[in-house]
Structure 1
Amino acid sequence: MTTPTRQQSDERTELTALITAATTELVRQWQRLVTAQDTLIRALERLRPGVGATTRINGYITIFNQQVGEFSRLTRALAERWAAQDLPTAYRDGALRALRKANADITRFRWTADHQAAITALTATFYTDLVGRIQEAVRRAQAFARAAQDATREVTLGRNHTGIDSAGLVADHPLSTVIYRDSSRHPVKDWARSALTYQGAVTANHGAINTGRLELEAAWFQCVDGPSCGFVSHPDTDHADGTIRSADDAASYPVAHHGCIRQWIPRPDLNGRRGLVSGDPS
């Protein structure tokens, strides 16, 4: 890894900027699908029975599929850049902040084999998550194209005299949303911001925890979090903020939920302290 080790401030401005830029670009590329869907619908609405109708349908579908292909290419490139450049920067950002919070020399952080192994595992997981969403969007776009094509053929063959149901097609195939595991649909912008913020925060916190363990040999970490946030999940009654946690506990729960503001401070000064239990107040 060659990401620099110099930081200008103690704020998470660099991490926030990375997330904002990636979110903006991801949403912009997703809009390509929405625009292509609208363009295709408008074109197919104008078709009527007659010679050459099938050729025109196929031509419009081809143009749409080209836009879908471009969407796939550009969003995959963004996911690759996020995993290869931005997440390592987030990891280093967390590492340097941890050293600074512990009043340690930030030059102690280097991309050692241990850190490289850690960031490789993180980026592999998060890259796979993003690509999975992209693939799902492509499949949904292709399903929309097939449905639109079939509906238009019914019109051009004279079997449907009322025209295609544009609103119904868009409602059944909303390309401006992402479908969660519970089948709920969420605007792409909301999903992108939530997903990339979560990935960035988890990566930065693992950078902090690993650096505390490896460079400072810290067995304990101080948790900084929202005053009402639980340790395992937000509603957990075991509140996290201002508590001391073991290195293993910190690594198991770098954050508690999407949108979590948790940060970790290495506490090597607590090594060897008798009677200390993970969860004790700092």
Structure 2
Amino acid sequence: MPYEWPPLIPGDSDEIARRVAAVLEDAWQRLEAKQREVIAKFADNPRTPYTLATLEEFKQAIRDFRQRVDQEARQFVQRQLPHLYEEGGRTAAEALGVTFTWTTFHRDALQSLAADSYADFLRRSEEAERMASQFYRAVRQAARREVPLLAAGNMTAKRAAKNLADRLAAKHKLTHVIYRNGARVPVRAWAEAATLAKSAVAYNAGTLNRSRQAGVSFVEVFDGSDCGWTSHQDPDKATGTLRAVEDAAEWPISHPRCRRAFGPRPDAQLPRQRSDGEKRSEHAYAPRAT
């Protein structure tokens, strides 16, 4: 199948996320269309050779979907992630009055991030492929075991074939990807959420690594007013707080569509040691001086 979408051009995170989601949704819709075609032909003429020939077209559609995911994921990690990482690094550098250059330190960090992001895209797509492959195996098994028995009973072979096709369609719907934990997620939704999450992590990695490279120990958190530190529901609210660079690197975002960002605070110091009688805060907090 030719790759019909134009090459990915690095840019705005939201726009790129919509593009990646559209590409993968298009590939999935083609797979859905081929499934409907298989079911329609199965109901019309369930003879084994005819059914298996049509089913092979569906198998090819699964391979096409895998190829689309692979191509788009590679473009994203090779083009968009470096762009965002550098943006984050340059933003931190400007705040510190220094420059950003692609040192070995940053290249190694980006390589690790890209490998993780690429693998995550493939893991997510595997769930979609698993569902499609289950349908493929079910139809193949029905064609070999059940079709020869369709004329048995009091209904015609045609009616029995239609009933069997309806049963296969109902059991193997491809409108959503159903994960092993039972979650039902449209392909567009998981693709967009995954892309936004990886984009935010890449930008923040650039900021944090350039800050660390400059000897900065603390960063200020910019986030939604209701967003928690380790999850959106975490009562430990993030925005406006100071966090150690290491802690920020552990929680660059708290949920897939998180808008978290960081600013280096070279002026911040470790909180003074409190006596046992004083209440110790969980983390340092210092509003930016105006």
Q: Normalising by the residue count of structure 2, what TM-score does the alignment of the two structures yield?
A: 0.82
Asked whether the equivalents of residues 30 and 176 of structure 1 are also in contact (C-alpha less than 8 Å), the reply is no
What is the aligned partner in structure 2 of residue 136 from structure 1?
127
Deviation readout 1:37-61 (Å, 9 max, x if unpaired): 111111111015xxxx222112101
What is the aligned partner in structure 2 of residue 245 from structure 1?
243
What is the aligned partner in structure 1 of residue 105 from structure 2?
114
Asked whether the equivalents of residues 177 and 185 of structure 1 are also in contact (C-alpha less than 8 Å), the reply is yes
Letter paired with 1:57: T
Which structure 1 segments of 5+ residues have no match? 1-12
How far apart in 1 are the matches of 2:189 and 2:165? 25
How far apart in 2 are the matches of 1:171 and 1:196? 31
How far apart in 2 are the matches of 1:55 and 1:127? 39
How far apart in 2 are the matches of 1:242 and 1:23? 32
How far apart in 1 are the matches of 2:204 and 2:171? 40
Deviation at 1:83, TM superposition (A): 1.8
- Root-mean-square deviation over aligned CA pairs: 2.3
Letter paired with 2:15: A
Deviation readout 1:5-59 (Å, 9 max, x if unpaired): xxxxxxxx622222222121121122221111111111111015xxxx2221121
Letter paired with 2:228: G
Letter paired with 2:51: I
What is the aligned partner in structure 2 of residue 5 from structure 1?
none
What is the aligned partner in structure 2 of residue 71 from structure 1?
65
Q: Spell out the pairing of 1:174-193 with structure 2 (5 A cutoff).
A: 174-193=173-192
What is the aligned partner in structure 2 of residue 213 from structure 1?
212
Deviation at 1:178, TM superposition (A): 2.1
Asked whether the equivalents of residues 197 and 256 of structure 2 are also in contact (C-alpha less than 8 Å), the reply is yes
How far apart in 2 are the matches of 1:144 and 1:274? 59
SS of structure 1 residue aligned to 2:34:
helix
What is the aligned partner in structure 1 of residue 5 from structure 2?
none
- Quote the sequence identity (%): 32
Letter paired with 1:21: R
SS of structure 2 residue aligned to 1:195:
helix
Q: Normalising by the residue count of structure 1, what TM-score does the alignment of the two structures yield?
A: 0.84
Which shows bigger deviation, 175-184 or 227-236?
175-184
Deviation at 1:242, TM superposition (A): 0.7
Letter paired with 1:212: S
Deviation readout 1:84-136 (Å, 9 max, x if unpaired): 22222221222223334x2635xx21221111111111111121111122233
Which shows bigger deviation, 147-156 or 187-196?
147-156
What is the aligned partner in structure 1 of residue 258 from structure 2?
260
